[in-house]
C-alpha cells in the first residue's frame, strides 16, 4: 500500500486524520485495538504503526500491546471484537495489496510446554559488550550489527572465550545466550546457556527489521543471521539444522513469506524439506538454490543473495 492508501484505511477504521503521523516508511497512529489490548483501554502516546509498501504488503505493529499482522487480519479482528461490518475497508485492502490473499495472522502464544522463567534484562545489560572485538571484525561484523543484536563477550566455565548471542521471545523476554567460541580448536564451537529453550524460539524474532517486513529469511547459524541482518535482510535463525514444530508455529503465526536459506549441505537440505512440509500451504515459502561452491549464507554477497531469492521457487 502506498501512503494515501494506508491513510484511507486508517481513517475508515475511525482514526482521526489529525492523529496520523508519517515517519519514514511508517504511518503512526493510536492503536485501534487499544480498547481490548491496552491495560488502560487507550493509547495516549501513539504506539501503533502501518508500513508503507507501494509494491507489496503493508502490515501493522503496536509496540505497546505487541499485536501485529496484515491489514486484512486487523480488519477481521476489529469485526470480531466490535460486531461491525467493515466490508468496505476489506475491499480497500484487497484492491491495494495482495495481503488479503494470505492466511490471516494469528497471535503468537508461548509453546504449550512452556519456556520457563525469563532472565532479568538487567543481567544481560551487565554483560560485556562485544563491540570492537577483533574476532567480529575479522568476520566482517560491524559495531552497528553488534548493537542491533546486542552481542556480548564472555568466558564460559571451561575458560573458553565466546561471542554471546542473546535469545529473546517475540515479545522481548530474554532467555539466555548461545555462545560461539572464538578459538578455532575449541571442542564445542557453540555452547548454550543451561536450559536455553532455543528449539521453541527463533533468534532475531523481536528485531524491528523482522517485525516490520512481509517476509523473513530462515537460516541456521549465529553468524548466518548476523551477516543477513547486516545486509538489511529480515532474518531469523533456528540455531540447528532442523526446524522444530514450535518454530514452525511461530513462523505461521506471523503469516510472512518464509525464504528458506538453511545451509547447503545434507543436513540443511533435509531441514529445508522438513520446513517446507510444515509451512507450505499455510504461508508462502520460497526455496532457493545456492551458487556452486557456496555452503552457507555467511559466504554470500548481497548481490548473490538477492539473485537467489529472486530466482527461488515459490510454494
* Architecture of the domain delimited by 121-197: Alpha-Beta Complex (3.90)
Q: What is the pLDDT of residue 23?
A: 78
CB 46, CB 30: distance < 8 Å: yes
Q: What is the pLDDT of residue 97?
A: 45
Residue pLDDT, tens place only, 154-200: 998 888 899 999 999 988 899 999 999 999 888 889 999 998 999 99
Look up cell 527489521; give the residue. 209
Sheet holding 161-168, edge to edge: 128-129, 152-155, 161-168, 174-181, 190-192
Q: What is the pLDDT of residue 111?
A: 54
Low-confidence stretches of the chain (pLDDT beneath 50): 97-107, 112
Q: What is the pLDDT of residue 143?
A: 95
Look up cell 538487567; give the residue. 122
3-101 in CATH: which number? 3.90.580
Distance, CA of 20 to chain centre: 26
Class of the domain covering 208-314: alpha beta
Residue pLDDT, tens place only, 103-139: 344 445 555 456 788 999 999 999 999 999 999 999 9
* Closest C-alpha to 9, from 35, 38, 29, 36: 29
Name the residue ranges covered by the structural domains of the chain.
3-101, 121-197, 208-314
Amino acid at each position: 500500500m502506498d501512503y494515501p492508501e494506508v491513510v484511507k484505511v486508517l481513517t475508515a477504521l475511525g482514526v482521526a486524520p489529525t492523529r496520523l503521523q508519517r515517519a519514514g516508511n511508517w504511518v503512526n497512529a493510536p492503536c485501534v485495538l487499544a480498547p481490548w489490548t491496552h491495560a488502560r483501554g487507550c493509547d495516549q502516546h501513539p504506539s501503533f504503526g502501518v508500513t508503507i509498501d507501494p509494491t507489496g504488503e503493508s502490515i501493522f505493529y503496536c509496540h505497546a500491546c505487541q499485536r501485529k499482522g496484515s491489514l486484512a487480519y486487523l480488519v477481521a479482528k476489529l469485526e470480531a471484537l466490535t460486531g461491525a461490518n467493515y466490508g468496505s475497508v476489506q475491499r480497500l485492502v484487497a484492491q491495494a495489496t495482495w495481503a488479503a490473499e494470505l492466511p490471516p495472522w494469528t497471535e503468537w502464544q508461548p509453546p504449550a510446554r512452556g519456556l520457563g522463567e525469563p532472565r532479568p534484562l538487567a543481567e544481560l545489560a551487565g554483560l560485556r559488550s562485544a563491540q570492537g572485538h577483533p574476532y567480529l571484525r575479522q568476520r566482517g561484523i560491524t559495531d552497528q550489527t553488534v548493537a542491533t543484536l546486542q552481542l556480548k563477550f564472555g568466558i564460559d566455565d571451561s575458560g573458553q572465550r565466546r561471542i554471546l548471542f542473546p535469545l529473546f521471545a517475540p515479545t522481548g523476554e530474554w532467555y539466555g545466550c548461545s555462545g560461539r567460541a572464538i578459538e578455532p580448536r575449541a571442542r564445542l564451537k557453540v555452547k548454550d546457556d543451561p536450559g536455553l529453550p532455543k528449539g521453541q524460539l527463533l533468534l532475531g524474532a523481536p528485531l524491528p527489521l523482522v517485525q516490520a517486513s512481509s517476509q523473513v529469511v530462515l537460516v541456521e547459524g549465529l553468524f548466518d543471521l548476523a551477516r543477513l541482518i547486516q545486509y538489511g535482510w529480515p532474518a531469523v535463525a533456528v540455531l540447528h539444522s532442523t526446524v522444530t514444530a514450535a518454530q514452525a508455529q511461530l513462523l505461521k503465526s506471523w503469516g510472512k513469506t518464509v525464504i528458506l536459506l538453511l545451509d547447503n549441505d545434507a543436513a540443511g537440505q533435509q531441514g529445508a524439506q522438513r520446513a517446507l512440509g510444515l509451512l507450505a500451504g499455510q504461508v508462502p515459502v520460497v526455496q532457493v538454490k545456492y551458487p556452486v561452491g557456496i555452503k552457507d549464507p555467511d559466504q554470500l554477497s548481497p548481490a548473490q543473495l538477492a539473485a537467489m531469492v529472486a530466482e527461488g521457487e515459490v510454494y
